[in-house]
Structure 1
Amino acid sequence: MSGRITNSNPKTGRRKCLFVSFEVSPYQEVWRLQKQVLEAKIQRWLDEDVIFLLEHEPVFTLGRRGNRDNLLIPEEFLAEQGIDVVHVERGGDITYHGPGQLVAYPISDLRRTASGVVEFVERLEEVMIRVAADFGVHAERNAKNRGVWVGPKKLGSIGIAIRHGITYHGLALNIRNSLEPFSWINPCGLQNTMMTSISIESGRMIDMEEARASMSRHLEEVFSIRLKSVNPRVLRHRLGVCRKRKPDWLRIRLPSGPVFSKTRALLTETGLHTVCDEALCPNRGKCFSEGTATFLILGDRCTRNCRFCAVKKGSPLPPDPDEPARVARAASTMGLEYVVVTSVTRDDLPDGGAREFCQVVHEIRQTMPEAGIELLVPDFQGNEEAIDSVVSAGPHVLNHNVETVPRLYRDVRPKAVYQRSLELLARIKAGSKDVVAKSGLMLGLGEEEYEVEKVLEDLLEAGCDVLTLGQYLQPSSQHVRVQRYLRPEEFDKWRDKALCMGFKAVASGPFVRSSYKARELYQNAIGQI
Structure 2
Amino acid sequence: MNKKVILQDLGLKDYKETWDYQEQLFQETLDIKIKNRREEANLETPNHFVLVEHPHVFTLGKTGDFSNLLVDEKQLERKGAKFYKTNRGGDITYHGPGQIVGYPILDLDNFFTDIHKYLRLLEEMVILTLSEYGITAERSEGETGVWLDVGTPFARKICAMGVRASRWVTMHGFALNVNADLGFFDLMIPCGIKDKAVTSLNLELGKKEVDVAEVKQKLLRHFQGLFEAEMVKEKTSV
Give the structure-2-normalised TM-score: 0.89
Match of 1:94 among 89, 92, 103: 92
Q: Take 2:128 and 2:100, find their aligned partners in 1: how far apart are those partners? A: 14
Mapped to 2, the partners of 1:150 and 1:209 lie a distance apart of: 23
Tell me which amino acid in the other structure corresponds to 1:155: I
What is aligned with 2:148?
A: 150
In terms of Rg, which structure is larger? 1
Q: CA deviation at 1:113?
A: 1.5
Name the structure 2 match of 1:132.
Answer: 130
Shift of 1:51: 0.5
* 1:81 to partner: Cα distance: 2.5
Which residue is equivalent to 2:203? 200
Unaligned runs of 5+ in 1: 1-12, 237-529
How many angstroms does 1:144 deviate by?
Answer: 2.8
Change over 3 Å in CA distance of 1:46–1:40 after alignment to 2:
farther
Shift of 1:215: 1.2
Matched, 1:228 2:232: yes
Q: Deviations over 1:98-140 (max 9, x none)?
A: 0111111111112232230100000010011011112121101
Whole-angstrom distance in 2 between the partners of 1:155 and 1:202: 13
Contact kept, 8 Å, 1:142 with 1:149, in 2: the verdict is yes
Work out whether 1:179 is the aligned partner of 2:182: yes
Structure 2 residue 153 is matched with structure 1 residue 165: no
Name the one with the larger helix percent: 1
The 8 Å contact of residues 25 and 54 in structure 1, kept in 2 or not, is answered as: yes
Taking the aligned partners of 2:52 and 2:220, their CA distance within structure 1 comes to: 11
Of 105, 108, 119 in structure 1, the residue corresponding to residue 106 of structure 2 is 108
Once residues 49 and 220 of structure 1 are traced to their aligned partners in structure 2, the CA distance between those partners, rounded to angstroms, is: 12
Letter of the 1:51 partner, please give it: F
Q: Is the 8 A contact 1:64 1:92 kept in 2?
A: yes
User: CA–CA distance in 2 between the matches of 1:222 and 1:159?
Assistant: 19
State how far apart, in whole Å, the 2-side matches of 1:70 and 1:35 are.
26
- Root-mean-square deviation over aligned CA pairs: 1.6
- Give the Cα separation in 1 of the matches to 2:2 and 2:214: 24
Counterpart for residue 85 of structure 1? 83
For 2:138, what is the secondary structure of its paired residue? coil
Q: Conserved in 1, the CA contact under 8 Å of 2:146 and 2:157? A: yes
Deviation at 1:179, TM superposition (A): 0.6
1:188 maps onto 2:195 in alignment:
no
Residue 40, structure 1, aligned to residue 28, structure 2:
yes
Distance 2:113 2:215 in 1: 26
Match of 1:425?
A: none
CA distance in structure 2 between the partners assigned to 1:33 and 1:14 by the alignment: 21
Equivalences for residues 93-492 of structure 1 within 5 A: 93-151=91-149, 152-204=155-207, 205-233=209-237
User: C-alpha offsets along residues 163-207 of structure 1, whole Å, 9 cap, x if unaligned?
Assistant: 222110001111111111111100001112200011111222211
RCO higher in 1 or 2 (8 Å CA, sep ≥ 6)? Answer: 2
Q: Which residue of 2 aligns with 1:25?
A: 13
Q: Identity over aligned residues, as a percent? A: 32
More off after superposition, 57-66 vs 111-120: 111-120
Letter in 2 for 1:222: L
The number of residue pairs the alignment matches comes to 222
Question: Unaligned 5+ residue runs, structure 2?
Answer: 33-42, 150-154
**Residue aligning to 1:68:** 66
* Paired residues of 1:14 and 1:226 also in contact (CA < 8 A): no
Partner residue, 1:16:
4
Q: Is the 8 A contact 2:57 2:96 kept in 1?
A: yes
Verify the 8 A CA contact 1:40 1:46 in the aligned structure 2. no
- Matched residues in 1 for 2:183 and 2:79: separation? 13
State the one-letter code of the partner of 2:216. Answer: R
TM-score, normalised to structure 1, is: 0.41
CA–CA separation in structure 1 for the residues paired with 2:29 and 2:65: 31
